[in-house]
């Protein structure tokens, strides 16, 4: 990653980054705020929100905006694919071996020099399926 990681790592910023890195799925700013607040009860939502965007801008984490749903933050910055629940908004990593082939097919069909691609599979997560 060539992005400059030169943001000043304050204790609060480090704590916010740690919550992103320790989460088992991709959380929203609101969910991360709730977790950070357990250790830093006085932290403001705005601080968490701005820090997450700052970390994403510097390529330290990845941000996924979802239309009218809240953005989710991902500790992984490498290329990978996701499943996304249309009901609760959960976003989780998925390993799709065919993804690299898909990139080749796209390049072959269009002549594009493909720089990046990712696949998001939308559907209903197991938890939401059980609530029906």
CB of 12 to Zn ion, least distance (A): 24
Q: At what angle do helices 11-22 and 29-39 cross, to 10 degrees?
A: 120
| Residue 90 tokens, joined | 């959960």
Determine, following the binding rule CB under 5 A, whether residue 128 of this chain makes contact with Zn ion: yes
Determine, following the binding rule CB under 5 A, whether residue 87 of this chain makes contact with Zn ion: yes
Within 37-56, which residues bind Zn ion (CB under 5 A)? none
Q: Which of 31, 34, 63, 93 binds Zn ion (CB under 5 A)?
A: 93
CB of 25 to Zn ion, least distance (A): 8
Q: Which of 44, 88, 100, 120 binds Zn ion (CB under 5 A)?
A: 88
Which alpha helices (DSSP H) does 40-125 contain, by range? 45-57, 99-110
Beta bridge partners of 123: 85
CB of 72 to Zn ion, least distance (A): 8
Asked if 60 and 21 count as a contact pair (C-beta separation under 8 A), the reply is: no
Asked if 36 and 43 count as a contact pair (C-beta separation under 8 A), the reply is: yes
Instruction: Determine the size of the site formed for Zn ion (CB under 5 A).
Output: 9
């Amino acid at each position: 990653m060539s992005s400059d990681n030169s943001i000043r790592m304050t204790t609060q910023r480090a704590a916010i980054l740690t919550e992103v890195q320790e989460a088992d799925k991709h959380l929203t700013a609101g969910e991360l705020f709730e977790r950070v607040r357990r250790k830093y009860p006085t932290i403001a939502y705005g601080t968490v929100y701005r820090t997450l965007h700052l970390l994403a801008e510097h390529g330290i984490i990845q941000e996924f905006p979802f239309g009218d749903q809240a953005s989710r933050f991902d500790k992984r910055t490498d290329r990978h694919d996701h499943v996304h629940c249309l009901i609760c908004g959960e976003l989780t990593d998925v390993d799709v071996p065919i993804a690299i082939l898909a990139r080749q097919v796209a390049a072959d069909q269009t002549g594009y020099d493909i720089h990046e691609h990712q696949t998001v599979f939308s559907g209903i997560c197991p938890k939401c399926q059980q609530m029906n």
